[in-house]
Structure 1
Amino acid sequence: MSEPRKLEVLRAIVEDYVHSREPVGSKALVERHHLGVSSATIRNDMAILEEEGLIAAPHTSAGRIPTDKGYRLFVDRISAVKPLSAAERRAIHSLLEGPDELEDILERTVRLLSQLTNQVAVVQYPHLSRARVRHVEFVLLAPRQVLVVLIADTGNVEQKVIDAGSDVSDEALTALRARFLGSISGSQLDLMPQVLPSVVALCPPALRGLAQVLAHGLETLTSSSREARILMAGTANLARSNVDFPLSIGPVLEALEEQVVMLRLLSDMGDDPRGVTVSIGRENPYDGLSEASVVATGYGPGTNAKIGVLGPTRMDYPTTMAAVRAVARYLSRILGG
C-alpha cells in the first residue's frame, strides 16, 4: 500500500464519517470516491490502516471510523488552511463591524464563530501584560462618589465607583484627570503600581489626598483587567452532538463551566505553521475532553490571547480551521493587533 493511497483512503473515511456519522465500509468508499482500485484492495488497505491504529471498528460493525491517531494524521496532512468563501468573509465583516467596545466585539465574535462552525466557540480576553493606558476618566456622580474609568489600548474598559471620603468638586477632578492622563497615558498597565505613587507625589498638596484615592482606584482596575477571563457561545450545539460523546457529554460541559480548565488548555496550545493549532481527543490534558477536539489560534497584539472552538472529534477540521483563522484575523484587525 503506497503512502499516497493510504492517506487518500484515510481522507475518504474521515470525510464520509464526519458527513454521515456512520461507520464507513469498503463498498461505500469505492462508490463515493474515485480511488482507482477495487473493493477488495480497499478492504486490504483498511486492514492496514486498522493495524496502524488509524481506524477502528466500533462494536461489531462492518465499517470503520477514524481514531484520534487517524484524525491527527489527517489534520497534519492538511497542507494549507483553505480560504473562506466570499459570502462567509462578507458575513464576518458585517457582523464584526460595529461598536468598538471590547466586550461587544468579543461577544459578537464568539456568536459568529459558533454559527460558522456549529460548535462551541471560546475566546480569551486579551492578556494585558503588554497593554497600555489609552485614557482615564473621573466622573463625579455624587458629592463624595467618583466613577473611575480606565481604557486600555486593547479596547478593555474597566470602571469602578469609589468613595472619595469627602466632598469633591468638578474642578478638582478635571485638574487631576489632566495630571493623571498626562503622566500615565501610554504606560503599561502592569507597571501602574510603580508609576502611580510618583503621579500622586507631583500633585498639588491640596489635592494629594484625593489623588491618592483615585490612584488606588486605578490600581484596582489594572489588577482586575489582568484577570484571565473567557467568553463562550454555542454550548447548545453540544446537545445536537450528543451521539458523538458515547461515554458522556457531562465531563465536556463541566470542562466548559470550569473556566480555569479552558484557560489552561488554550494557553498551553502551541503555535502551528499554518496558524491554527488542533488538539484531538486524548491529546487534551483534561480527561473530560478525551472525546473532544479543540481548534484554536492567537489573536490581537502579540497574538497572546486565543480564540477557538470545541466540539466532538468527529469534526469538519478543514472548515473549522479556516473559520477560526479567518475570524481571528478579522478580530486582530479590529483591535489593531
Structure 2
Amino acid sequence: MVDFIDDRKRKILKAIVQEHILTAEPIGSRTLAKNYEFGVSSATIRNEMSDLEDMGYLEQPYTSAGRVPSDKGYRYYVDSLMETRDYPEQEIRKMLGEFTFEQNVQTIMSNLARMLSRLTRYTAVISEPQLKKSRIREIKLLKVSRKNLLIVLVTDTGIVNNKIISLTKEISSKQLRYLNEFFSRKLQKRELNTLDEGFLSKIEEELLNRLKMSERIIKLIFDEMLKVAKPAELKVHLGGTSYILEQPEFNNLENLKKVLNILDHEEILGKLLNSFSDNELKVVIGHENQLEEMHKCSIVIATYCIGDKPLGKLGVIGPTRMHYPMVVSTVNSLSKIVGKIISRMDG
C-alpha cells in the first residue's frame, strides 16, 4: 500500500531533507518556519512532522530533538521530490581537460575516479571495461627470441593483454607472417565472449590444413591464446576514500571500520558493482544495500557504454545524508561520456 502524502507534507519533507543534507543536524519546526514560507505556524509544521514520523519518513534521534529523514524518507525524496540537471557535455569535457589522459584504460579510469570524487566530495568507484564484453581490435604474434613468441591482444575498449609462449622449436618469419594474417582475418572485430574452445578448435583445424607446421606448436599457440582472451577479474578504481572521514556519520569508529573494510577489498567492490543491472542509473539507500556494512551508506551507480554496449559501472558511495541531486546529475552526466573517451583512444 502506497502512503498518501499531501502537498504540504511533501514540501515539509523536501525541506527537511535539504536542510539535513546541509547541516547534518536534526531539523526542528522553528527552523522550517524561519527558512521556508509554508504559510502555517510552527505548531502546524510540528504536527505535520509528527505525521511524517508516524508514516516512517522521518525519525527523531533523541527526545526533544528535531527530525531527520529515514531511509524511507530519502527514498521518497529521490523518487518524487528532488530536481536534477545533467551537466552539458561541453562542461564535462572542460573538467576532463584538467587531467592528462595517457593512452591506456587503467590511467583513464584512475583519473576519472579522482575527478568524480573531487566533483562530488564523496568516494568514487569505477570499474574498468569488462573484457568479455569487448571486441578484438588487433591480435598479433611477435618473435621476442628464437623460440619465444609474444601474443598481444588489444580490444576495442583499449585493454591490452599479452603473454609469452615458449615453443619447442623455432618458426620461420614466413610462418609467423601467415599466422598473423590468418588471425587477423578470423579474429578481428570478434567478441571475446565467443572466443571459446569450440570456436578455436574449428579454426585450429582449418589452420592445420593450410599451414605446414607442427600440430603441437599450433595447439600450444591456440591454448595460450585462449588464456590471453579469458576475462580477468573485474578491476575497480577508487577515488577520494578520505572523503569518508569528512562525514559526521562516520565519526563513530565502528561505522567507519565497516565502510573502509568494503572499500579495501576490490573483490567485494567488484561483486557489489556487478550486482547492479545494466539499466538506468540506480540509487540504493541505507538498508536497501545487500551488505550490512553499507547500511549507513547510499550508492549512486550508472552504467557506461560504447555505443549501446554496456562495458562497466561508475558511481559514488557516501552517507545516506548525501546531496542526491548533485550526485545523481554528476554520475549520470559522466557515465554518458566515458565510452566516448575510451572509443577515441588510439591504442
Q: Alpha-carbon deviations, 1:28-47, whole Å to 9, x = none?
A: 11222232322222111111
Query: Match for 1:77: what amino acid?
Result: S
Contact 1:17/1:65 (8 A) holds in 2 = yes
Distance 1:129 1:65, change over 3 A: same
Residue type of the alignment partner of 1:285: Q
TM-score of the two chains, using structure 2 as the length reference: 0.87
Pairing partner for 2:198 from 194, 209, 230:
194
1:165-193 alpha-carbon deviations (Å, 9 max, x no partner): 33355444333212211111122212222
5+ long unaligned stretches in structure 1 = none
Q: Residue 261 of structure 2 is aligned with which of 249, 254, 265?
A: 254
The alpha carbon displacement at 1:248 in A equals: 1.6
Task: Tell me the distance in 1 between the aligned counterparts of 2:44 and 2:168.
Answer: 84
Q: SS of the residue aligned with 1:62?
A: coil
C-alpha distance in structure 1 between counterparts of 2:300 and 2:276, whole Å: 9
Give the direction of change, closer, same or farther, for the CA distance of 1:131–1:232 in structure 2 (3 Å limit). Answer: same
Distance in 2 between residues matched to 1:51 and 1:104, nearest whole Å: 50
Q: Label 1:289 to 1:87 Cα distance change in 2 as closer, same or farther (>3 A).
A: same
Listed as ranges, the gaps of 5+ residues in structure 2 are none
> Residue type of the partner of 1:137?
K
Question: What is the rounded CA distance, in whole Å, between the counterparts of 1:2 and 1:280 in structure 2?
Answer: 20
Paired residue secondary structure (2:139): strand
Aligned 1:14-163 pairs, distance under 5 A: 14-78=17-81, 81-84=84-87, 88-95=91-98, 98-163=101-166
Residues 234-285 of structure 1, C-alpha deviation per residue, up to 9 Å, x if partnerless? 211112225346452111112223334333332333477xx32100000001
Q: Please state if 1:230 is matched with 2:236.
A: yes
* 212, 229, 240: which one aligns with 1:205: 212
Deviates more, 1:278-287 or 1:93-102: 93-102
The range that moved more, 57-66 or 85-94, is: 85-94
Quick one: distance in 2 between partners of 1:85 and 1:334?
A: 16
Q: Is the 8 A contact 1:92 1:327 kept in 2?
A: no
Distance 1:270 1:13, change over 3 A: farther
Q: 1:270 to 1:7 in 2, by over 3 A?
A: farther
For residue 96 of structure 1, report the CA deviation from its aligned partner. 6.9
Task: Output the CA distance in 1 between the equivalents of 2:275 and 2:167.
Answer: 42
Residue 321 of structure 1 is matched in structure 2 by: 328
Amino acid at match of 2:39: G
DSSP 3-state at the match of 2:50 = helix
What is the CA–CA distance in structure 2 between the aligned matches of 1:207 and 1:182, rounded to whole Å? 21
SS across alignment from 2:189: coil
In structure 2, the residue matched to 1:279 is 284
- 1:291-330 correspondence runs (5 A): 291-301=296-306, 302-303=309-310, 305-330=312-337
Q: How does 1:151-190 map to 2 (within 5 A)?
A: 151-190=154-193
- 1-structure distance, mates of 2:33, 2:278: 37
Number of residue pairs aligned between Structure 1 and Structure 2: 334
Kindly provide the CA deviation profile for residues 108-165 of structure 1, in whole angstroms up to 9, marking residues without a partner as x: 2211111111111112233344422110122222223322111112222111222223
Question: AA paired with 2:268?
Answer: V
SS at the partner of 1:58?
Answer: coil
